[in-house]
Chain A
Amino acid sequence: MGEFILQNLNLVLPLFLLALGYVAGSIAERRHYRSIEMREQELVSLPAVTLKEIQEDDAVTGRLVVGSVVVSIDYFKRALAILRNIFGGRVASYESLVDRARREAILRMKEEAASLGAYIVVNMRIEMSAIGQSANRKKQVGSVEAIAYGTALIKQA
């Protein structure tokens, strides 16, 4: 049996990595989503909007707040994306990746705003970029970077 594995390493190794990627990847993703949902609930009263002006009479001061994150894809989902690229359609395995990255970036921005004592983030923008070119090209880091920024409005005491 051991000999068989050694001789067919090119077959056994990807299968092993697929299983590892699937198990570890889905555990990590579930944990991340749980933390995202918890923190979103905590920060639900601190809104972030794309609007420039919010009619508020109080004298306020503004401060730039930024949140960014880099999230990587697992081996299983990358294989899934490569397969999906052959047949076309919705690349479901990357949807959760970009979703997680964006929500995490917004959360970090909001957390910064909350620590400044802000009550709203206005004119918020989100940018995304990929580090290491493309995720499903071999020998490259398959990850996505999200950055959210906006102006935190703080009530003057």
Chain B
Amino acid sequence: MKFVPKEADGAVNISKTHPLAEMAWLGGGLFLLAALVYLGLTLLTGWIVHHLPVDAEVWIGKEILQQEPGIPSPPLKKRLDALVECLPQGSPLKRYDFSVRLIESDTVNAVALPGGTIVVFSGLLKEVASENELSMILAHELGHFAHRDHLKRLGKGIILGAASWLLFKNSSQPFLFTFVSGLDARYSQSQEEDADMWGLHLLYRRYGHVGGSVDFFARLLKKKRQGRLAYLFASHPHPQKRIERLVAAAREQKYPVKAVEPLGSDIQNLLEDLNRE
């Protein structure tokens, strides 16, 4: 037996596919998969939310409120009641027993919780300058109730969380999540715009004009100047865009714009209390 030196061909042990091409195929496949899952979940939660009785909703709302109760706020409730009064007869929102709670926090936001609870953060209240603005914010949240957005969001969050836990356990999949949350941001922004429109119509029914409907966003815009790019993946649309859409809608409906009412004394007292603390 004699040895004949020969070189082994190392290339047989390596696949010839280009890594970038493979990444494109696999990444594309994953995106498609995620989009399908997302679409399925949206339809599923939409269906569940549509069939969920108000009683069950109230129960869910109570469970959430136990985490962060806040304090019921009679002055805000008074304004909300005045808005609800203006709802047309037979509106599905009449089934709700609405309440408003105030939570002390610097967050400039308000949240619609299942069961008819609107949570207003004190950070938002401090920004408000007129009765009409305050009504617009509350009407916007009522719009979320009318579209059942509060339940859709909650349901999708739960299902998405459960699905990702089942599939990936603890190992988080950053690409997938970023993609899905990106999709969700687009969806959420369109929900916000729909709620804006709904609020605008209610504001008109309440006051007979839509003065003050965009003041709040204008102030927000002045406060922090952010590019539109920063709003690409945000849950809310850019304030400028919201103002434009509201103004266009008001013009189309021929809603007049009149002078705004200053804040009532009870709200001013509330604000003073908040500032003192």
Contact = CB atoms under 8 A, between A and B. Distances in A.
Interface of A: 1, 3-4, 7-8, 10-11, 14, 22, 26, 33, 36-37, 40-41, 44-45, 47, 54-55, 76-77, 79-80, 82-84, 86-87, 90, 92-93, 95-96, 99, 103, 120, 137-138
A51 B173 CA distance: 47
A103 B10 contact: yes
A3 B23 contact: no
B52 interface: no
Contacts of B6: 44
Contacts of B22: 80, 84, 92-93
B264 interface: no
20 contacts: A3-B230, A7-B230, A10-B174, A11-B182, A14-B174, A26-B19, A36-B10, A37-B10, A40-B8, A77-B19, A80-B19, A82-B173, A83-B30, A86-B30, A86-B33, A87-B26, A92-B19, A99-B14, A137-B171, A138-B171
A44 B9 CA distance: 12
A36 to B, nearest CB: 8
A16 B22 CA distance: 18
A1 to B, nearest CB: 7
B95 to A, nearest CB: 39
B166 interface: no
Interface in B111-166: none
What are the 3 A-B residue pairs with the smallest beta carbon separation, nearest first?
A: A92-B15, A83-B26, A99-B13
B259 interface: no
A37 B3 CA distance: 20
B92 interface: no
Given A7-B230, A76-B23, A86-B33, 16 more contacts: A1-B229, A3-B226, A3-B230, A11-B182, A14-B175, A22-B20, A36-B10, A40-B10, A41-B7, A54-B1, A55-B1, A83-B23, A86-B26, A87-B29, A95-B14, A99-B13
Contacts of A138: 171-172
Nearest to A54: B1
B91 interface: no
B15 A76 contact: no
A8 B19 contact: no
Interface residues of B, number: 33
Contacts of B182: 11
B265 interface: no
A120 to B, nearest CB: 7
A37 to B, nearest CB: 7
A120 B19 contact: no
Nearest to B16: A92
Nearest to A106: B8
A14 B173 CA distance: 11
A45 B5 contact: yes
B233 to A, nearest CB: 6
A99 B11 CA distance: 9
A96 B15 CA distance: 8
A88 B8 CA distance: 29
Nearest to A37: B10
B26 to A, nearest CB: 4
Interface in B10-52: 10, 13-15, 17, 19-20, 22-23, 26-27, 29-30, 33
Nearest to B20: A22
B227 interface: yes
Interface in B41-87: none
Contacts of A77: 19
B122 to A, nearest CB: 25
B178 interface: yes
